[in-house]
Amino acid sequence: MPDYQAILDEIREETRPLLCQGHVADYIPRLAGVPREKFGMAVVTLDGRLYQTGDADEAFSIQSISKVYTLTQALQSIGDRLWQRVGREPSGNAFNSLVQLELENGLPRNPFINAGALVVADVVLGSPPDPRAQLLATVRRCSDNAALRDDPEVASSEQANGFRNAALANFIRSFGNLDHSVHDVLGFYFYQCSLAMSCVDLARGFLFLANQGRCPWSGGNILLPDQTRRINALMLTCGTYDAAGDFAYHVGIPCKSGVGGGIVGVIPKQLAVAVWSPALDAKGNSLAGSAALELFTSKTGLSIF
């Protein structure tokens, strides 16, 4: 077995020069003030062993990483009927692009671009009685941390500046692909993006995707094994926006990123790994975090290929 602790400490030092590069997500004012020198990384193996370095215990806004959890809820709720409303193909465009929606009649390319996540949010809203409470309960159960919560300031910041997401939601609604009001869908979407988790939380919280859908902490099934494989496949092909091809080439594991600077990766039947560094590259993925994951798979020799 690789010496994960030594590897994480090496990666922290090797990526330190990258922390001054890239840009934080300043279009969300609440995120603009996060110190760019922050860096954390955590690994949790299938048998529950935890390894961490840097700021791995510090909570941050998970943003689009939350889309994996809402996709999980949607599949729990309606199963494969979800794919009648959202596709499974990489977009090749920016995560908040309006272009393909018009060309493809309001059917988002995949559930991880913003348009697709809005449709998934609409599906989750159809599961009474309290979809927000259910989402929070799912995240807490997966991470085995009952103290996890949302950050109302982040949600408020996104609500006040979410004009592009509002445009996407209204456009999708014009094609009849939202059942709930645009206001309710956006409210839920901004809520999910405002969830705050640490690298330790995220590594623990994604371990069910390395375990055929079974939660190691509760012993219960979150998803069926085939649903788990499909989410992992979507993370590989769509989880890092229009950089997914580069991630598959350089990193070689399913990953999901967020503009809060977090990225989570899964190596089925082995482990989950999470990294956080707030400064982003041109595609919206953590610059140092992307390099850290490439170093991790290179140093450990682990990948799905």
Q: Looking at 34, 43, 61, 64, which residue is catalytic? A: 64
The catalytic position among 4, 51, 189, 191 is 189
Give the separation between CA 145 and CA 165, rounded to whole angstroms. Answer: 30
Q: What confidence score (pLDDT) does residue 102 get?
A: 84
174 catalytically annotated: no
- Summarised one tens digit per residue, pLDDT across range 219-257 is 889 999 999 999 999 999 999 988 999 999 999 999 999
Among residues 24, 34, 43, 67, the one annotated as catalytic is 67
pLDDT at 202: 98
Catalytic-residue membership of 189: yes
Cα–Cα distance measured from residue 169 to residue 197, given in angstroms and rounded to the nearest whole number: 26
Catalytic: which of 68, 119, 259, 275?
259
Q: Residue 94: its pLDDT value, please? A: 77
- Concerning whether 277 is annotated as a catalytic residue, the answer is no
* The pLDDT of residue 145: 97
pLDDT averaged per 10 residues, the chain (length 305)? 96 96 85 91 97 98 97 96 96 80 90 96 92 96 96 91 93 96 97 97 98 90 96 97 93 97 97 97 95 98 93
Nearest to 74 by CA among 90, 62, 86: 86
CB 191 within 8 A of CB 146: no
Is the bond leading into 129 cis (omega within 30 degrees of zero)?
Answer: yes
Q: How many residues does the chain have?
A: 305
Q: What is the pLDDT of residue 96?
A: 79
Residue ranges per domain, the chain?
Answer: 4-300
The runs of H, that is alpha helices, within the chain are 4-15, 29-32, 66-78, 99-103, 114-125, 131-143, 152-161, 163-174, 182-193, 199-205, 225-238, 244-250, 287-300
Q: Is 64 a catalytic residue?
A: yes
Q: In the numeric block, which tokens belong to residue 153?
A: 């300031």
How far is residue 289's CA from residue 179's CA, in Å, rounded to a whole number?
37
List 241, 251, 257, 273, catalytic entry: 241
Per DSSP, 250 falls in state H
Does domain 4-300 fall into CATH 2.60.40.3880? no
Sequence-ordered list of residues with C-beta below 8 angstroms from that of 186, at least 6 positions apart, any chain? 118, 159, 162, 165, 166, 169
How many whole angstroms separate alpha carbon 186 and alpha carbon 198?
Answer: 24
